[in-house]
């Protein structure tokens, strides 16, 4: 039994499920409420699932890769877990708050670790109006979608949409279009971390748009408001020399 109290969480992947009983037998298993550290086994999805459960208590999460890419995970090893966690570097994540109003007037709220994204529901292009801090910055954007991404999420969907990679301590948000049609050459914007973004759907009855906070989706929206929620700080743990800011920096030179 270890001196740290661990709560092990495994994704459904066979590799993660196979590792779970071995680690539990070696280090013990506590509930997440009683643990000092949550250990996520799997891929980046397992890390994000574990982090979402930490909005209430902000306990640190240490991930070990039993998935595919594992950008947010440490190398999997069964030995020296207590020493690795005690020596780990901390990365603080500030999530985004999404408040979406649908065409029926119902409001939906959710938190996002990576990004809040809007995307068209049908073959018709989405038409969006973008306001930042109370001032309309783009009267109409015709596109497949648009997103607001955190530094932690800038290497995920945002990067796939050719958005910028943000250092973890940059105090910036990325506003990135997805397949912009008009204005065709607009590549997005960098915003202050405390920016308040409002995105209105033009003609939402004829051109329906969905919104998602990470994987939490709302359909047929009329307006979405996005801002950082600094009251919900999350902590990820990384082995020395492999911290999240180092990984993000490597991504910028990896093309």
In the numeric block, the tokens 């670790």 are attached to 113
Cβ density class 63-88: b for 16+ within 10 Å, e for less: bbbbbeebbbbbebeeeebeebbeeb
Strand duo 172-178 + 189-192: pairing = antiparallel
The answer to whether 44 is a known catalytic residue is yes
| Candidate list 34, 36, 44, 229, residue with the active-site label | 44
DSSP, res 145:
E
DSSP, res 31:
-
Counting every residue, how long is the chain? 255
Coil, helix or strand for 120? strand
Torsion of CA 69, 70, 74, 77, to 10 degrees: -60
Question: At residue 69, what are phi and psi to the nearest 5 degrees?
Answer: -90, -55
Query: 46 is written with which tokens?
Result: 């397992």
Catalytic (active-site) positions: 44
């Amino acid at each position: 039994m270890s001196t740290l109290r661990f709560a092990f969480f495994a994704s459904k992947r066979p590799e993660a499920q196979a590792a779970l009983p071995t680690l539990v037998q070696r280090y013990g298993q506590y509930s997440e409420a009683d643990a000092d550290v949550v250990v996520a086994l799997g891929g980046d999805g397992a890390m994000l699932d574990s982090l979402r459960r930490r909005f209430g208590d902000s306990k640190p999460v240490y991930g070990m890769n039993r998935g595919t890419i594992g950008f947010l995970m440490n190398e999997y090893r069964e030995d020296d877990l207590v020493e690795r966690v005690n020596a780990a570097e901390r990365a603080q994540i500030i999530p985004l708050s999404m408040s979406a109003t649908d065409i029926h007037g119902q409001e939906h709220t959710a938190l996002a670790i990576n990004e809040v994204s809007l995307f068209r529901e049908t073959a018709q292009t989405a038409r969006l109006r973008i306001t930042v801090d109370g001032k309309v910055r783009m009267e109409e954007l015709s596109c497949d979608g648009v997103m607001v991404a955190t530094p932690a999420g800038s290497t995920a969907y945002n990067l796939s949409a050719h958005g910028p990679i943000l250092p973890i301590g940059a105090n910036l948000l990325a506003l990135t279009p997805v397949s912009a049609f008009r204005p065709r050459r607009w590549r997005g914007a960098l915003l202050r971390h405390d920016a308040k973004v409002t995105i209105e759907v033009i003609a939402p009855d004829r051109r329906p748009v969905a919104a998602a906070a990470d994987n939490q989706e709302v359909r047929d929206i009329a307006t979405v408001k996005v801002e950082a929620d600094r009251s919900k700080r999350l902590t990820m743990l990384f082995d020395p020399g492999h911290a999240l800011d180092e990984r993000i920096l490597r991504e910028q030179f990896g093309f």
